[in-house]
Amino acid sequence: MSRPHALHARRWRIHRLLMPLCLATALCACAPAPVRNPIAQWVPSPNYDARRPVLIVIHFTNEHSAAQALHTLRTANSGGPVSSHYLVGDDGRIYQLVPDSERAWHAGAGRWGSITDVNSASIGIELDNDGDSPFTQVQIDNLLRLLADLTDRLRIPHTQIIGHEDLAPGRKDDPGPRFPWAQLAQAGFGLWPQGPLVDPPAAFDPWSALGLIGYPLDNRAATVRSFHHHFRGMDGDTLDDQDLRILYALSRQLGAGGGASPAPAG
């Protein structure tokens, strides 16, 4: 082999050996670097994981189409920029707008149990619904598919599924009294009274039970309206005997191991 040809062959062999290394280096350069504080020495630990949501919040869009809702959720409404992780159309189509690991702007002011920054601890699901029409069956069917995926993949407790109005009584009214919470309960999602309802003892405190479930009690009449929408599918801002039976059953379920709403992970 002539000298120029031998030199060319050596260069080609070196190039082939270095190519995977160069490619790996380029890929590493493209990967996002971990966020580091410049005033601290970086001594990395492997003992961590991503922040995880512990709650799912269901909304209705109060818009007239999925296209209109998608536009709003990607821009702003009268109160400023808004978003949610998912939107389920009335035709059952599921849209994702924000990664599960990121903080969407869907809950606003409010709290649920010990969770005061709900956006940081939750997944938001919008349902394409104008607030007055019944939810379609295909929409609920695919919502159930989505709930099964999220609770399994993100390890969110099945009882930790609430409505927007539950965390913000008086400020929000979605998903409203038409939303089929009982159907979700039949599929194993959401907190729901189990077994026959019985009268509570005379010392039973319904407000403590509402607080144990997670409801804020700043505006008690508004809290009762949200509770009625969720558990009885009706309006009204005063507690009656059936409410007491439901609250007694729920408080016993939580006291038996359901626990109050956990604080945000991480």
| Confidence class for position 44, pLDDT limits 50, 70, 90 | confident
CA distances from 86 to 45, 97, 248 (A): 33, 6, 34
User: From CA 204, how far away is CA 191, in angstroms rounded?
Assistant: 20
Among 63, 102, 126, 165, the one annotated catalytic:
126
Q: What is the mean pLDDT of residues 33-58?
A: 83
* Closest by Cα among 134, 139, 106, 138 to 120: 106
pLDDT at position 80 is: 85
User: Residue 76 pLDDT > 60, yes or no?
Assistant: yes
pLDDT at position 96 is: 97
User: Residue 44, preceding bond cis, omega within 30 degrees?
Assistant: no
Residue with tokens 């003992």: 47
Q: What is the pTM of this model?
A: 0.82
Q: What are 127-169's pLDDT values in tens digits? A: 999 999 999 999 999 999 999 999 999 999 999 999 999 999 9
Q: Are 239 and 248 in contact (CB under 8 A)?
A: no
Amino acid present at 128: D
> How many residues are recorded in the chain?
266
User: From CA 128, how far away is CA 3, in angstroms rounded?
Assistant: 74
User: Residue 11 pLDDT > 70, yes or no?
Assistant: no
Query: What residues form DSSP beta bridges with 95?
Result: 87
- Is 126 an annotated catalytic residue? yes
Q: What is the mean pLDDT of the chain?
A: 87
Domain ranges of the chain: 55-186, 206-258
Q: What are 220-255's pLDDT values in tens digits? A: 999 999 999 999 999 999 999 999 999 999 999 998
pLDDT at position 54 is: 97
55-186: CATH number: 3.40.80.10
pLDDT at position 29 is: 44
pLDDT at position 246 is: 98
| Confidence class for position 262, pLDDT limits 50, 70, 90 | very low
Q: What is the mean pLDDT of residues 176-199?
A: 97
Percent of the chain whose pLDDT exceeds 90: 74
| Confidence class for position 28, pLDDT limits 50, 70, 90 | very low
User: Residue 125 pLDDT > 50, yes or no?
Assistant: yes
Residue 242 CB contacts under 8 Å (≥ 6 apart), including other chains? 197, 232
188 vs 22 pLDDT, higher one? 188
pLDDT at position 46 is: 84
Write the DSSP symbol of residue 114.
T
In degrees and rounded to multiples of 5, residue 123 shows phi and psi of -110, 130
User: Residue 23 pLDDT > 50, yes or no?
Assistant: no
pLDDT at position 213 is: 97
Burial class (CB in 10 A: 0-12, 13-18, 19+), 61: buried
| Confidence class for position 103, pLDDT limits 50, 70, 90 | very high
pLDDT at position 170 is: 96
pLDDT at position 227 is: 98
Secondary structure string (H, E, C) spanning 176-227: CCCCCHHHHHHCCCCCCCCCCCCCCCCCCCHHHHHHHHCCCCCCHHHHHHHH
Greatest Cα pair distance, the chain, in angstroms, is 104
